[in-house]
Structure 1
């Protein structure tokens, strides 16, 4: 049986991240300067480039300030998880396909969803906005007596 993780290379995943993150060239995530020099590669992940900013003198790499930074799973597992989410697979199916613990798959998918949601622009309503009347009873399912208006007690 072929493991899907064997079909995706680390080099390709890091190249994809660089292209999406910095389409006009690498810039410092701290000061947004384009005066950046390459500073070798990460010690354990050979495809992960490191950089040094000439302006603020800080060091960073391909994953600094991204949802993929600071986790024990390799980048290709995150990319494949994102791909499977796009295919609308359940967390259990993703865990099975990537040979992960179901809790790890749950954590990864929730982190990716939160990151996607956070990057969406806030929608501003304008013009005439209409809404239907809605009466929401939270926490009193099947107990209509609990939500009835209580009459004031005489003093």
Structure 2
């Protein structure tokens, strides 16, 4: 078990060390063919110049494979050690790490570092299933800069309040200490109700603030309203403080580390912060190992820039 960044650097010094570590995480000592699913210690080990470097041949389907086939590392020319360092610091830093900083830390180009971070976020995105319990806190927020901070020639007109020209609305649902975050087209009643109805079991308790978009939830839920405009922050033991605390982490991370997030990639960044929040009770080493076990989605660069 990796317990710290120093531990990672000490124990995973070579590509061979990283390969064996990943094989233990994925296969638990017994190779599994990603093509046919055959699990056996009798898969052929293919050598190059008399040296085995992790290339197997399935004894059943005869296809060749390595431990990276069927994972986010498949086809990557970046050494596993650099991947592991990037994943570890990305998951361990509470507010993430920018591609500008990562490219300096692991000696790759900024473009490569950005792609690596995007591929990590992509795998987090597909592992965000949450079971909502008896009480769900629901809130919405807006991500984006202020019009007054724009260059004088780029300032927009008619951008009062919750203008969608400047900011992107994001909806969050928190239950049993875990959060689900989703960018939404608007904070209208139809959109908010649609998200809640599709995720939260009917008959459970939903706690919101006084925003008009939540009106009518009492038809399907036990709806508790904490009206901040009236100075209410806890009412009858119910509150939205937890989801609002998550918003502070998300916004501080975007402002302080990433500075700017486009609407196109906003969903990936939201899932990034949600994953770290939902695994906050794990140690950094446990979170790192857990991620390696679920990182099976391969994001190609052309998909990222379309």
TM-score by length of structure 1 reads 0.69
Q: Hey, what does 1:139 align to over in structure 2?
A: 164
State the shift of 1:135 in Å.
Answer: 9.6
Matched, 1:125 2:150: no
State the shift of 1:124 in Å.
Answer: 3.5
Q: Hey, what does 1:91 align to over in structure 2?
A: 99
Q: Hey, what does 1:27 align to over in structure 2?
A: 32
| Alpha carbons 1:14, 1:47 under 8 Å: kept | no
| Alpha carbons 2:46, 2:52 under 8 Å: kept | no
Runs of 4 or more above 6 Å deviation:
none
| Alpha carbons 1:91, 1:109 under 8 Å: kept | yes
Q: Hey, what does 1:68 align to over in structure 2?
A: 73
State the shift of 1:13 in Å.
Answer: 0.6
Question: Comparing both structures, which one devotes a greater share of its residues to helix?
Answer: 2
Q: Which SS does the other structure have where 2:124 is aligned?
A: helix
Cα distance in 1, alignment partners of residues 79 and 64 from structure 2: 21
How many residue pairs are counted as aligned between the two chains?
Answer: 133
Give matches, 1:80-119, under 5 Å.
Answer: 80-88=85-93, 89-118=97-126
Ranges in structure 1 where 5+ consecutive residues have no aligned partner: 143-155
Call closer, same or farther: CA 1:105–1:54 in 2, change over 3 Å.
same
State the shift of 1:38 in Å.
Answer: 3.0
Cα distance in 2, alignment partners of residues 67 and 42 from structure 1: 24
Cα distance in 2, alignment partners of residues 125 and 42 from structure 1: 51
Q: Hey, what does 1:147 align to over in structure 2?
A: none
State the shift of 1:63 in Å.
Answer: 1.0
Cα distance in 2, alignment partners of residues 122 and 37 from structure 1: 34
Cα distance in 1, alignment partners of residues 141 and 103 from structure 2: 39
State the shift of 1:39 in Å.
Answer: 2.5
TM-score by length of structure 2 reads 0.38
Call closer, same or farther: CA 1:41–1:62 in 2, change over 3 Å.
farther
Of 13, 31, 40, the match for 2:46: 40
| Alpha carbons 2:45, 2:52 under 8 Å: kept | no
Cα distance in 2, alignment partners of residues 62 and 42 from structure 1: 17
Instruction: Name the stretch that deviates more: 47-56 or 19-28.
Output: 47-56
Which structure: larger Rg? 1
Q: Which SS does the other structure have where 2:38 is aligned?
A: coil
Cα distance in 2, alignment partners of residues 19 and 65 from structure 1: 15
Of 14, 20, 25, the match for 1:15: 20
Two-structure CA RMSD over aligned residues (Å): 3.0
Q: Which SS does the other structure have where 2:43 is aligned?
A: strand
